[in-house]
Structure 1
Amino acid sequence: MSSPGKRSWRLLPLLAALTAGCDLPGRPDPADRPVPADQVKDFGALYATHCAGCHGADGKLGPAPPLNDALFLAIVPDAELLRVITEGRTVTPAQKSPMPAFARERGGPLTAAQVKALAEGIKERWGASKPKAQSLPAYLAPPAPVVARSGDRAITADHATTGAATAERGATARAKTGEGARVFARACAGCHGSQGQGGKNGDRQVGAINNQAFLALISDQAIRRYAITGRPDLGMPAFDGHNGRSAEFRPLSSAEIDDLVALLASWRRSGPGKDH
């Protein structure tokens, strides 16, 4: 039979473990507790849940424009990136694009802090490298000039309703569309076809962009972004790239990009191209 003294010695390791603060087996670790969805602030977790399905797991090679793109991140204003995540995008005032609003006040699932974490995280994760081009086109199109005021509301040239304003707007649109056709011929037709009907770049099939299903889903601003940044993950050149273009190609200017957007917007209004 063991003496009381010997039994006491055998208990010493257990007492030492308890006094050292070791958890007993099966005790939950507070760090493993589930975090409520509205309290998740980690960029990786938020991006994987809400963005990767469209923009790709690593910010590229998804059906939506790549976010892992140094040129895009160099030109998109912080406030605009935050706004788009907050509000989503529209193709026209009456038609939404596939990019939804994510902020709760706009019907989305995320708090303002989570939207901010996404906007800041996109630039922190993928915006470190700088594009080679020295002069970059503006990401946003220049605002239309103010031609009148109604109380505190400014009326811009693209919303004025007088006969003269309407006629001038039509003439301007026709001129920009004509210039856009010339820009398209030298910068885009080599891959997308003379009328945007699609074509080839080497062995690679390039999809049609004079296509009502495509144009109904893409805003003028998204068209502008593609004209500037291209899709580097899919081989589409940026505004200054030479892939699929002639050796004499010169970079597109901001004005030429404006005209190119006007051309594609006119296709949205007028229907499919003649080559379809």
Structure 2
Amino acid sequence: MLRVFVTTCVISCLVSCQPEEEPPSRVDPDPEAAVARGEALYVEFCSMCHGVDGEGYTADYANQLNNAHFLRSATDAFLFDSTEKGRPGTPMAAWGAQWGGVLSQQEMHDIVDYIRSWQKDASLNLDDAPIAGSGAAARDLYATNCAYCHGAEGEGVTALSLNNPWFLEQASDAFIRYAIAEGRPGTTMPAFQDRLSDEELNDLTALIRGWQTEPPAQPPPFEADLSDHLINPGGSAAEFTLREDRFIPADEIHAAIQAGEKLVLLDARTAGDYIISHIEGATSAPFYRIDEAIDVMPDDVWIITYCGCPHAISGRALDELRAAGFEKSGILDEGFYVWEDRGYPILRGRERFP
């Protein structure tokens, strides 16, 4: 089941109220300098999914960050927290350095300032008080209007995982209700304010809120030993035929591993995503560290990169490998989450093997 951070269907690009604690203050108060820095960081870490100009849908249904309805309803706190902590279990990584990513708090503030620079309309001031409703009463309503995109239990299909713990930690009832009612013009997310009664909107909000669980703990610091990378080091070298000169099906990779064939799998996601779950035998080599991996990779064994996007981040890593002369290199075509959904071996934590 495809997992995504943001949506194109019901409750696309949902936004939140202020969290209990505000993000740390900016170090540099110069807004023009912050926007300039943020633009460079956005291009490096965000554009592959959200588009160079925030137009969205470049990879895995990532939302339109430049959408007017999104910008006027999203708070700086929501944007900062989403960048820092991501959406575990989806392609949206936690980019904060303290959460297994690579960005400092100043850099995340700069990205928020750059995204905010697209806003033309005044921000909304919605009530963040809890909304009373009956989640049980909304089950059929949700199944009819929401489940096709968001999944039967909010797990996400082609839209936001509504049951994601960090999303629900950051999104207030009022913001959830507003997104359902108003929709996102210019996307496939419709407005339901003229289709549903106030009571039904409240009930849907309550149903979604009922999925809230405790968010995952902050991961421990981790940096992989890139020199430890071979799978089946005593086996014969695997051989693959690329699709479109880039892609290798998950089934073929799994079959090669099961047959004892030698290859390298590089997890191009952040270290935090790797700790949450990764393919058994893979080495953590975030795309922003790929130059370090290149220094120790063999040139006579297939090197396969993967991410959850399923091609955006792994594609960047592949391009760097190709530029360095690694001809036997490709991308796990369907991405990590399809591998997981097919029941192929994954691990949680730092270790490559059980």
TM class by shorter chain equals: 0.3 to 0.5
Whose helix fraction is larger, Structure 1's or Structure 2's?
1
Higher relative contact order (CA 8 A, sep 6+): 2
- Over alpha carbons, which structure has the higher Rg? 1
